[in-house]
Amino acid sequence: MKDNRGVYIALTIIALWFISLTLLLTQYEVDFYSPLTYLLVLVQAHLYTGIFITAHDAMHSVVSPNRLVNEWIGRVCATIFAFNFYDNLNRKHHLHHRFVGTERDPDYHGGNFWVWYFNFAKQYINVWQIIFMAITYNVLKAFFPNTNVILFWMLPSIIATFQLFYFGTYLPHKGEHEPDNVHKSRSQAKNHVWAFLTCYFFGYHYEHHNSPRTPWWQLYKEKERMIEKVG
């Protein structure tokens, strides 16, 4: 990127996540009979997904043209998302792009959904994350209602993990691909609203592998360009 639009978008997602979480921990009285409670959990999960997608864009150096700003935002977002280590994510994600769909791809596994998810999680979860999450949980519940902490801090991050895996890894890469599919990736049908709601346009996954330096908020244009090219 040659301008700072990516920075503004990243900071907006971070701010929305932080403001939402703060209000949900301090102001919202949980009512399990209210559909609003479950909707708010899903909204918070969607913001968590946006946090991770922002860290992902930083790995491709498309959040900011300034390298230090780009990396700083990437590290902050990776930390917010369950204390992931940015350097580990960055190294393995580039291996995924380089060796996509092979035994050297850390994101790929040929098993069913649950076997694949378990192996995927093993690549990124470590004991330090679990320790930091446990400490943070105990600190938060000392100041805020425990139910709110579980529903709006813990559960959304778990939902977002499944959301990212299912729409951004499993569906695009599972099964066999045509021999001429150099990216070993498939893509959602064109539906920009659904693509945004499910995984910030990363269901347009072939497009991402074909143009990895296109930020998430421009992937819909890459989808349209590819359709026009084929048509």
Per-residue pLDDT reduced to its tens digit, 154-213? 999 999 999 999 999 999 999 888 888 889 999 999 999 999 999 999 999 999 999 999
Q: Residue 59 pLDDT > 90, yes or no?
A: yes
Mean pLDDT along residues 58-66: 96
For the chain, what are the domain ranges?
5-176
pLDDT category of residue 91 using cuts at 50, 70 and 90 = very high
**Per-chain mean pLDDT for the chain:** 94
Q: Letter for the amino acid at 113?
A: F
φ/ψ of 200, rounded to 5, equals 50, 45
φ/ψ of 179, rounded to 5, equals -55, -30
Eight-class DSSP state of 203: T
Decide which of 3 and 39 is more confident. 39
What's the N-to-C CA distance of the chain in angstroms? 28
pLDDT at 138: 96
pLDDT at 178: 87
φ/ψ of 175, rounded to 5, equals 75, -170
pLDDT category of residue 103 using cuts at 50, 70 and 90 = confident
Count of positions (residues) in the chain = 231
Neighbours of 25 (CB within 10 A): 17
Q: Residue 9 pLDDT > 90, yes or no?
A: yes
pLDDT category of residue 1 using cuts at 50, 70 and 90 = low
